[in-house]
Amino acid sequence: MTAQQVTIALDALGGDYGPPETVPGAVQAAREGIRVLLVGEPQALEEELRRHNALGLPLRVVPAEGVVQEGEPPLQALRQKPRSSIALCARLVHEGEAHAFVTMGSTGAAMAAATLELGLLEGVERPALGGPILGCAPQTLLLDLGSHVDCRPGLLVTFGALGIAFARRFLGIPHPRVALLNVGAEEGKGNRQAKEAYALLKASGLPFIGNIEGHDLPFGRAEVVVCDGFVGNILMKLVEGLGEVLAGWLRQRLPHAHPLAEEMASMLNVVDLYGGGPLFGVRGVAVVGHGRSRAPTIARALRTARRCVQVGLVEGMEEELARLTATPSRREGGENTPPKTGDPSPSPPPGDRR
């Protein structure tokens, strides 16, 4: 598949600003050869399109009715609005009209629509949220970022496998490492969940390097850091708040439009880097970005989605999950048992372990 052939459905109504930002974002991506289906209210979209020099670009409007708002109970809203922009986006992927969809709308709605229309990979119960949270450590993914709280320890192994697929395929890191976010470096540290997850990760066949602590995160000491979504979400949002406060402080302290303030913002803020992140564990590419994204960020999210398609992210995730399932500790129901010596299950390639 060449870059030219990727078609992406964009939820043109999702996000805080709607068509005035989604349409120019789509136009920008279309100029780079991405085919974009603009899913939303046709009149508003056509009108916005006329404001841009979009003639001849691979853009097409797909009429939708209504939008699922942030805060609406997702499943109920999807049932009530079966032709809402997010529902239609997921359906276009399901029906093969698009290779991926992108939304800046409600994450809950995107997760529900993706689950219903595209389904989940084997062993996944709901889409996981993950991605780099620090601009200064852009190759360190944190999973989960809030879709799973009170995880059973085995889920952290699943996050590890999903993250590894992203690190290998999307980031192109040949030997990514998985670490467990914990309160101490030594084995045996942490809460019950972390202690059990440690044992399961150790036996999982994943390239597990042990615990890392909060202060390791900015140094990028692992590519995939797994944690409960309760912790991940609070960390991600703390970094967001810090970025705002610190960049604001630096802007105030430095002469007008000093590049350092922007550089500082980018040390923390990472959303702008990819425009959004894929839903992990979904049987299809669904990229979700921040509601407050503007056109350039939306264009980046479209590029991210294209790359997820081109590198075969979904196949990669499937592969990593299958490899896990083949290890004894998972076959035996996620029990905390080390792999048996001489077990015939396929071992990971040598490069997988560090």
Interface with its own copies (CB under 8 A) = 134, 136, 146, 149-150, 181-183, 190-192, 194, 213-219, 227-231, 233-242, 244-246, 249-250, 253-254, 260, 263-264, 267-268
Q: How far is the CB of 252 from its own copies (least distance, A)?
A: 11
Q: How far is the CB of 201 from its own copies (least distance, A)?
A: 17
Q: Which helix (H) or strand (E) holds 94?
A: helix 85-94
Q: How far is the CB of 263 from its own copies (least distance, A)?
A: 7
Q: What are the Cα distances from residue 114, in Å, to 94, 108, 128, 156?
A: 9, 10, 12, 21
CA distance 98 to 58: 13
Q: For its own copies, which is the closer residue by CB, 95 or 150? A: 150
Q: For its own copies, which is the closer residue by CB, 3 or 260? A: 260
Q: For its own copies, which is the closer residue by CB, 236 or 279? A: 236
Q: For its own copies, which is the closer residue by CB, 121 or 227? A: 227
For the four alpha carbons of 276, 156, 108 and 97, in that order, the dihedral sign comes to: positive
Q: How far is the CB of 48 from its own copies (least distance, A)?
A: 31
Cα-only R_g, the chain:
21
Q: For its own copies, which is the closer residue by CB, 18 or 277? A: 277
For the four alpha carbons of 212, 215, 216 and 218, in that order, the dihedral sign comes to: positive
Q: Which helix (H) or strand (E) holds 298?
A: helix 295-310
Pair of tokens at residue 288: 């979700």
List the one residue out of 50, 61, 62, 58 whose CA is nearest residue 32.
58
Q: How far is the CB of 75 from its own copies (least distance, A)?
A: 17
